[in-house]
Amino acid sequence: MPRITVYVPDDLKTRMEEAGDDLNWSAITQRAIQAAIATQTLKRNPTDMNSVIERLRASKRQSDEASHQRGKECGAKWAKEAAEYDELRNVWEIYGPKEEWDWVQELGMAVDPGTTGWEDSGWEDFRQRHCGGEMNDAFAHGFVEGAHGVFEEVKDQL
């Protein structure tokens, strides 16, 4: 795979370093370049539906990544400030790579095992009390990841 050089201002580089290793700058840059190319192609030929699709895919990826990051922050905050042991352990247990996984439903059942998902467990109340944000699979997956990370740090001390 070819390499390119991207120049950023000093303050942006500092913020990138502060973000740590949680972000894949190469992947982020690739997605931004793909979105820019799709937008430029679409400007040149507005009837090119492949460019429309590519632009919207890039936009969806960015939206999902932002939602995942908000969920991760919320999950870590919830784990540190409000989670009960059983809730946190249940959320910790559902973490891991899953294909065709309904994160929203699984998260709802982990936090409130007597339900069939967030629709029954009062996500709206939970959301208002702990973090805000819309509930979607990207957010729920991030939430589980954030809570899982906190439990991993403390579980051997409990």
User: Helix axis angle, 137-154 relative to 103-111, nearest 10°?
Assistant: 40
Instruction: Kindly write down the DSSP assignment for every residue of 75-92, as one continuous string.
Output: HHHHHHHT--HHHHHHHH
How much is the pLDDT for 124?
A: 66
pLDDT-above-70 percentage for the chain: 88
For the chain, give the mean pLDDT: 82
**More confident: 65 or 48:** 65
What are the respective helix, strand and coil percentages of the chain, to the nearest 5? 75, 0, 25
Q: Write out the residue range of the structural domain in which residue 133 sits.
A: 10-157
Residue 43 lies in a domain: yes
In this structure, is the dihedral angle defined by the CA atoms of residues 53, 55, 58 and 62, taken in order, positive or negative? negative
pLDDT on residue 89:
92
Q: Has residue 5 been placed in a domain? A: no
pLDDT at position 133 is 65
Does a structural domain hold residue 3?
no
**124 inside domain:** yes
- Residues 6 or more apart whose Cβ sits within 8 Å of residue 80: 150
Q: Is residue 1 part of a domain?
A: no
The C-alpha angle with vertex 111 and arms to 67 and 142, in degrees rounded to 5, equals 20
Domain count across the chain: 1
Q: Are 70 and 138 in contact (CB under 8 A)?
A: no
Residue 1 confidence class, pLDDT cut points 50, 70, 90: confident
Q: Is residue 141 part of a domain?
A: yes
Domain assignment present for 2: no
Tell whether 42 is covered by a domain.
yes
131: number of Cβ within 10 Å: 19
CB atoms within 10 A of CB 64: 16
- Rounded (10°) CA dihedral 98, 104, 108, 109: -40
